[in-house]
C-alpha cells in the first residue's frame, strides 16, 4: 500500500506509527499532527499466515525474529517514514480486573493496599507478570462524600510477551515508548460515548474480545476463543472448500443471502456461538451493575463481515455500530468509503498512533 503519502506530502517531522501485532496479521497506521487534527499519512497490513506456512486470515504464533522480519516488509511496503512507534499487547496475554478496595486518605498507604491486594486477584505468580493499576475516578453526586472503597482496574501482562515485543521492536529497527493492551487502543479510536455503558466486540482471527466500557473504564472483559478463522474453517468444511477459497468467499459475501457458494446458516452458526458467549458477558455486566448496555460496537477484521451488523442487531436487540476509527483522522474525501470499510481492522493501530501523537505534545 502506501499510496497515500504522495497525496499528503511527505513531512517527516512529528510523524508517529501505531503497530498492531495481531495473531493473523500486522497492521500499521502512520499519523502526523497538524494543528488540532491527526492527519493520516499512510497505513498498511500484512498477513502472517503465509509466513507460518498457513493461509491468509489464519492465526499464527511466530517467534520474535519472524515477526520483526515481516514487520520490516510491511514498513517498507507502506512507505512508513518514522521509527516512533507504539505497539499493542494482545488481550489474551494480559489480565484486566476491576476490583473494589478499601479507600485510604494517604496516597502511599493507598498504593500499599493496592499492591498487596492485587496479588490475590492475579492467578499466576507475581514475578511472571508486570503489574499496573488505575484508580477509577469516582462520580460523586453534588453534596455527597466519596465512598469507603475505591474502584481499581488491575492490569497484568506476561513478562514473556513484553520480552517478545521488545525483540520485535529492536529487530524491526523501531523506537517505542509504550506497549498498550489492545483494548485500550481500541477504546481510544472507536468509543465516543462518554457516560452510558457500551459493549465492544473485537472479532479477530483466533479470538473475539468482548468488553464493556463505562465512562471510559473497562468494567468487564472476556476473551472468547473463537474468531474469523473459525468462520472460514466452518465454511470450508461444511461445503468441501479449500480454506483459502472459503476465506475469499466469506470476505465477498459475508451474511448476504442468495450466494450460491455457501449457505447463510453456515456463517450464522459460528457467529451465533460467538454472540451467545458475548451475550452471557453482557448479561453478567447488566445484572451486576443494574444498568443496561446502550450499544454494541463491532470491530476487528470480523467486524468487516457484510451484513453482520443487521444480524447482531437482531441477536442482541440493541443498537449496533460498526467501528470507524479513521473518522478520528483527517484524510481526503475520496478515501472515506475505503477507510470506512476497512476501518474495523485498523482500530487498534489507529488507537496506538493517536496515543503516540498525544505524547508529542
Q: Are strands 37-47 and 25-34 parallel, antiparallel or unpaired?
A: antiparallel
Burial 94-103 (b: 16+ CB within 10 A, else e): bbbbbbebeb
d(C-alpha 148, C-alpha 233), whole Å: 51
Least distance to ligand ATP from the beta carbon of 277, Å? 15
| Residue 223 and residue 207 in contact, taking contact as beta carbons nearer than 8 Å | yes
φ, ψ (nearest 5 deg) of residue 332: -60, 145
22 contacts Mg ion (rule: CB under 5 A):
yes
Q: Which stretch binds Mg ion (CB under 5 A): 18-26, 44-52, 170-178, 270-278?
A: 18-26
Give strand ranges (E) for the chain.
Answer: 15-21, 25-34, 37-47, 84-89, 94-102, 129-135, 149-158, 175-181, 198-203, 208-214, 217-224, 295-299, 319-322
Given the complex with ligand ATP, which of 151 and 244 has the nearer CB atom?
A: 244
Least distance to ligand ATP from the beta carbon of 250, Å? 5
Q: Which does 247 bind (CB under 5 to 8 A by kind): Mg ion, ligand ATP, none?
A: ligand ATP
**Which stretches of the chain bind ligand ATP, using CB under 6 A?**
22-25, 57, 90, 204-207, 227-229, 232, 247, 250-251, 254, 300-302, 304-305, 345
Q: Which does 90 bind (CB under 5 to 8 A by kind): ligand ATP, Mg ion, none?
A: ligand ATP
Which residues, 179 to 208, sit near Mg ion by CB under 5 A?
204
Least distance to ligand ATP from the beta carbon of 127, Å? 26
Q: Which does 41 bind (CB under 5 to 8 A by kind): ligand ATP, Mg ion, none?
A: none
d(C-alpha 131, C-alpha 159), whole Å: 10
Which residues, 289 to 348, sit near Mg ion by CB under 5 A?
none
In the complex, the residues that contact Mg ion under the rule CB under 5 A are 22, 204
Amino acid at each position: 500500500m502506501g499510496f497515500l503519502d504522495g497525496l499528503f506530502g511527505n513531512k517527516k517531522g512529528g510523524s508517529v506509527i501505531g503497530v498492531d501485532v495481531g495473531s493473523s496479521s500486522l497492521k500499521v497506521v502512520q499519523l502526523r499532527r497538524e494543528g488540532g487534527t491527526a492527519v493520516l499519512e499512510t497505513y498498511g497490513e500484512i498477513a502472517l499466515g503465509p509466513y507460518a506456512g498457513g493461509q491468509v486470515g489464519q492465526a499464527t504464533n511466530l517467534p520474535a525474529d519472524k515477526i520483526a522480519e515481516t514487520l520490516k516488509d510491511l514498513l517498507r511496503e507502506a512507505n512508513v517514514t518514522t521509527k516512533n512507534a507504539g505497539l499493542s499487547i494482545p488481550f489474551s496475554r494480559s489480565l484486566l480486573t476491576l476490583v473494589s478496595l478499601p479507600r485510604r486518605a494517604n496516597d502511599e498507604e493507598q498504593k500499599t493496599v493496592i499492591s498487596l491486594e492485587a496479588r490475590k486477584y492475579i492467578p499466576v505468580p507475581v514475578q511472571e507478570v508486570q503489574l499496573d493499576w488505575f484508580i477509577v475516578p469516582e462520580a460523586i453526586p453534588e453534596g455527597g462524600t466519596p465512598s469507603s472503597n475505591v474502584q481499581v482496574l488491575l492490569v497484568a501482562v506476561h513478562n514473556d510477551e513484553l520480552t517478545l515485543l521488545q525483540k520485535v521492536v529492536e529487530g524491526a529497527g523501531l523506537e517505542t515508548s509504550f506497549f498498550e493492551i489492545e483494548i485500550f487502543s481500541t477504546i481510544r479510536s472507536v468509543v465516543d460515548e462518554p457516560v452510558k455503558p457500551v459493549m465492544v466486540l473485537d472479532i479477530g482471527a483466533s479470538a473475539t474480545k468482548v468488553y464493556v466500557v463505562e465512562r471510559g473504564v473497562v468494567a468487564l472483559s472476556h476473551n472468547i476463543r473463537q474468531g474469523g478463522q473459525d468462520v472460514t474453517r466452518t465454511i470450508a468444511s461444511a461445503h468441501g472448500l479449500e480454506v483459502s477459497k472459503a476465506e475469499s468467499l466469506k470476505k465477498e459475501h459475508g451474511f448476504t443471502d442468495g450466494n450460491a457458494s455457501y449457505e447463510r446458516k453456515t456463517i450464522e452458526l459460528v457467529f451465533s456461538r460467538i454472540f451467545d458467549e458475548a451475550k452471557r458477558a453482557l448479561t453478567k455486566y447488566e445484572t451486576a451493575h443494574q444498568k443496561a448496555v446502550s450499544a454494541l460496537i463491532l470491530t476487528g477484521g470480523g467486524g468487516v463481515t457484510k451484513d453482520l451488523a443487521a444480524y447482531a442487531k437482531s441477536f442482541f436487540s440493541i443498537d449496533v455500530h460498526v467501528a470507524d476509527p479513521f473518522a478520528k483522522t483527517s484524510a481526503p474525501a475520496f478515501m472515506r468509503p475505503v477507510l470506512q470499510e476497512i476501518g474495523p481492522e485498523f482500530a487498534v493501530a489507529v488507537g496506538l498512533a493517536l496515543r503516540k501523537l498525544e505524547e508529542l505534545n
